[in-house]
Amino acid sequence: MTYPSVNVLLTSVGRRVELAQAFKQAYRTLGLSGSVVATDLNPLSPALQVVDCPYIVPPIASDEYLPALVEICQREHIHLVFPLVDPDIPRLSHARTQLEATGAKLAVVPPAAAEITRDKWQTFQFFMQHGIPVARAWLPPDVPPEAEFPLFIKPRAGSASQDTFKIHNQDELNFFSQYIRQPIVQEFLPGPEITSDVLCDMQGQVLSVVSRRRLEVRGGEVVKGVTIYDEAITQYCIRIARQLQAVGPITVQCMLRDGQPFFTEVNARFGGGFPLALAAGVDAPKILLAQQAGLPIEIPSPGQYTIGLYVSRFDNAFFIDESRHHDMALRRL
């Protein structure tokens, strides 16, 4: 039987080399034709060096950004679109009609969910509303006198662990409340921290949940970790995904205290630690490509993956001569 080709677009692909390579491997494994298309601001972005069709696009916030994506979707006959950085998610979600008019499907949460996941104060309120155990949180200057130090402060719309600080006393709370733009203050939970890669199909059905303990983090991305299984975390992740009407991949984060999870945030995209879920047996690119093409595919159930699998990640490098750099720069929209 001949199956239709499937083309995917990865936006703001940056350093996500392993993810781009996983999609390319999925095509080979499935015997499926198609292309991995990707965008970024910078022709030196590592993942642009491994995709089939790289494009240089304007900044996400610019008026030219969405027209550039529409043109790419039309030119490359895109079927599936995956945003890979947090600012892309509300931008694409609010432009769903415009982008899906090209024939593409967006693996992006609805606009209301995009706002909830972008704003950590709204995330906190969402967890409270739906009975999800959550770290206590406040907006300065509403931190109550009885709140015990240390506390944790971060931007409501932050990502990649930027401008996040453990605060030990009132003077630090006063300083960082002014230093950080639109901060949220949370009770400090020592952890460990658990991140769960949740995969939904394009109709919103939850397919799998893979949880991992973060052992070491650099720039907000896990560099050492190990897969675990916790039934309570898995069930809460399923509930969160359903309430957000998630499609495609999302990641859910929580901290443990005395073995109990307290949830902190949701990133509505592939997580940086996705390669560990892949190695543990949940091949999200293969599953999503197969479903789009109408290929039969066996999907591991939540909890059906290798437990106790460790990852230790490292840097690698591409060396780009002047000719290729020039050619990549010309692929600008």
Residue 224 dihedral angles phi and psi, to the nearest 5°: -135, 135
**pLDDT top residue among 1 and 83:** 83
Q: Residue 204: what pLDDT? A: 95
Burial 140-155 (b: 16+ CB within 10 A, else e): beebeeeeeeebbbbb
Report the percent of the chain where pLDDT is more than 70.
98
Give residue-wise pLDDT tens across range 238-291: 999 999 999 999 999 999 999 999 999 999 999 999 999 999 999 999 999 999
Question: How far is 180 from 139, CA to CA, in rounded Å?
Answer: 12
CATH number of the domain within which 142 lies: 3.30.1490
Question: How far is 179 from 106, CA to CA, in rounded Å?
Answer: 36
Looking only at the bridges linking them, the beta strands covering 105-106 and 165-167 are: unpaired
Number of CB atoms found within 10 A of residue 309's CB: 17
Burial 192-231 (b: 16+ CB within 10 A, else e): ebbbbbbbbbeeeebbbbbbbbbeebeeeebbbbbbbbbe
Q: Residue 306: what pLDDT? A: 97
Q: Are residues 283 and 159 in the same domain?
A: no
Question: How far is 200 from 287, CA to CA, in rounded Å?
Answer: 10
Q: Are residues 141 and 107 in the same domain?
A: no
Question: How far is 155 from 143, CA to CA, in rounded Å?
Answer: 15
Q: Are residues 24 and 112 in the same domain?
A: yes
Q: Residue 3: what pLDDT? A: 62
Q: Residue 160: what pLDDT? A: 66
Q: Are residues 183 and 309 in the same domain?
A: no
Question: How far is 226 from 308, CA to CA, in rounded Å?
Answer: 6
Asked if residue 130 is part of any domain, the answer here is no
Q: Are residues 51 and 170 in the same domain?
A: no
Contact 262, 255 (CB under 8 A): yes
Overall number of domains in the chain: 2
User: Quick one: how far is CA 109 from the chain centroid?
Assistant: 11
Q: Are residues 40 and 178 in the same domain?
A: no
Q: Are residues 183 and 204 in the same domain?
A: no
pLDDT (average), residues 127-144: 94
Q: Are residues 266 and 176 in the same domain?
A: no
Question: How far is 119 from 140, CA to CA, in rounded Å?
Answer: 15
Task: Name the domain boundary from 144, 164, 187.
Answer: 187
Q: Mean pLDDT across the chain, nearest whole number?
A: 94
pLDDT (average), residues 112-139: 96
User: Quick one: how far is CA 232 from the chain centroid?
Assistant: 22
Contact 134, 127 (CB under 8 A): yes
**Three-class DSSP category at 257:** strand
Question: How far is 82 from 15, CA to CA, in rounded Å?
Answer: 15
Question: How far is 135 from 190, CA to CA, in rounded Å?
Answer: 11
Question: How far is 30 from 18, CA to CA, in rounded Å?
Answer: 18
Q: Are residues 208 and 72 in the same domain?
A: yes
Give residue-wise pLDDT tens across range 27-72: 999 999 999 999 999 999 999 999 999 999 999 999 999 999 999 9
**pLDDT top residue among 331 and 156:** 156
Asked if residue 143 is part of any domain, the answer here is yes
Give residue-wise pLDDT tens across range 158-169: 776 688 999 999
Question: How far is 201 from 51, CA to CA, in rounded Å?
Answer: 23
**pLDDT top residue among 109 and 303:** 109
pLDDT (average), residues 182-198: 94
Q: Are residues 91 and 140 in the same domain?
A: no
Residue 2's pLDDT band, with cuts at 50, 70 and 90, is low
Q: Residue 315: what pLDDT? A: 86
Residue 230, C-beta contacts closer than 8 angstroms, at least 6 positions apart = 194, 211, 261
Helix (H) or strand (E) holding 267, with range, is: strand 260-267
Q: Residue 226: what pLDDT? A: 97
Residue 34, C-beta contacts closer than 8 angstroms, at least 6 positions apart = 5, 6, 7, 8, 27, 79, 289
Residue 301's pLDDT band, with cuts at 50, 70 and 90, is confident
Task: Name the domain boundary from 171, 187, 203.
Answer: 187
Q: Residue 12: what pLDDT? A: 97
Domain holding 178, by residue range, is 136-187
Q: Residue 163: what pLDDT? A: 84
Asked if residue 122 is part of any domain, the answer here is no
Q: Are residues 315 and 180 in the same domain?
A: no
Encoded tokens for 32: 């499926």
Q: Are residues 179 and 228 in the same domain?
A: no
